[in-house]
Amino acid sequence: MVGIVMVSVTKVNGELQHFDREKVIRTCIRLRCSREYAENVADRIQSKLYEGITTREILRMIYRYSAERRPQVRYEVDLRKAISLLRSKPDFEQFIARLLSEYGYNVTGPQIVRGRCVEHEIDAAAGIDGGVVYVEVKHHVWPHTYTGKDIFLQAQATLEDLVNGYESGFNKIRFNKAMVICNTKLSDHAIRYADCAQIEYICWKSPKDNSLEKLVEDKRLYPITVLKTLDSRTEARFGDAGIVLLRELMDLSVEELSVRTKVSKDKIRKLVKSAQDITK
């Protein structure tokens, strides 16, 4: 193991932070490398550090070294970026619906529900344990954008109007809580307000034990955009056909996929082969 070196790393937003060896190890493990090999990668990267090195360069090294042990890593896009590459509507909303369903929620998709004051276009209603959660979905194309407290203020106001609408007989859904799901980190103010207002959230790195990346990785619910060879036009065709998960790409026959997406069979076979390699 290489001795600890205090080096500042430049984040995407230009801020500096100390190099975190454990972050490197966790990323390697998420790429399904063993702990022992992840520590080896961390040692190799630590030996190449220099003051001001970017997080992007560190990530490139992680992928390069991990690919020596798992060649299929070469076909993968970083999960954080892959999720950002999904179209906000409908692909990311469908992705979140699949995720919630995997964790026991009974999900109904986008719909208009009347509150006491106005109608609300909600992203999802998710039933679990006898209650119904109003789900607000927020997707950022730039994965390093912070999600602020405004989305939680909006969710709280919407929930209150929906509850009042139910009590006034304007709708038939008895919502009992709100949840915000987004693909980026939360600002400190957003977390403080959400915790105080008792609004649930699933976001990048938050909450620690049930963050978006952890829920995705635990069930291996990888989006199709994790495929490095998938272009935006083909992704849109898959999305239009309701195919947003890697497992859905592998579960359907090449013939059915081609009919539903109008993508050539040869191209689909190559994508399926890459997906199978990634999920080995």
Length of the chain equals: 280
Q: How confident is the model at residue 137 (pLDDT cuts 50, 70, 90)?
A: very high
Residue-averaged pLDDT of the chain: 93
Sorted by sequence, the CB contacts under 8 Å of residue 71 that are 6+ apart come out as 277
Percent of the chain's residues with pLDDT above 70? 98
CATH number for the domain that contains residue 232: 1.10.150
End-to-end, the C-alpha distance of the chain in Å comes to 29
- The residue-averaged pLDDT of 122-139 equals 96
Please check whether residues 100 and 177 belong to one and the same domain: yes
Please check whether residues 103 and 196 belong to one and the same domain: yes
The pLDDT tens digits of the residues spanning 220-240 come to: 999 999 998 899 999 999 999
Please check whether residues 107 and 189 belong to one and the same domain: yes
Highest average pLDDT, of 55-59, 68-72, 133-137, comes from 133-137
- Is 80 within the bounds of a domain? no
More confident residue, 76 or 53: 53
- Is 138 within the bounds of a domain? yes
> In the chain, how many H helices and how many E strands?
12, 9
**Region for residue 56 given its phi and psi (left: phi exceeds 0; alpha: psi -120 to 50; beta: otherwise):** alpha
Percent of the chain's residues with pLDDT above 90? 79
The pLDDT tens digits of the residues spanning 98-117 come to: 999 999 999 998 999 999 99
Please check whether residues 213 and 108 belong to one and the same domain: yes
Q: Which residues are 131's β-sheet partners?
A: 128
- Is 61 within the bounds of a domain? yes
Q: What is the rounded CA–CA span in Å between residue 215 and residue 227?
A: 19
Please check whether residues 116 and 133 belong to one and the same domain: yes
Element (H, E) at 220: none
pLDDT for 14 beyond 90: no
Q: What is the rounded CA–CA span in Å between residue 175 and residue 163?
A: 6
Cα–Cα distance list, 129 to 103, 104, 132, 133, 211 (Å): 12, 9, 8, 10, 21
Please check whether residues 228 and 184 belong to one and the same domain: no
Residue 226 carries which DSSP code? G
Please check whether residues 95 and 207 belong to one and the same domain: yes
* Domain final position from 69, 99, 117: 69
pLDDT for 5 beyond 70: no
pTM of the model: 0.84
- At residue 109, the pLDDT reads 87
Q: How confident is the model at residue 4 (pLDDT cuts 50, 70, 90)?
A: low
Please check whether residues 114 and 191 belong to one and the same domain: yes
pLDDT for 61 beyond 60: yes
Element (H, E) at 107: strand 106-108
- Is 247 within the bounds of a domain? yes
- At residue 146, the pLDDT reads 95
Domain extent, residue 181, equals 87-219
- The tokens of 222 are what? 């990888």
Number of domains in the chain: 3
Please check whether residues 98 and 162 belong to one and the same domain: yes
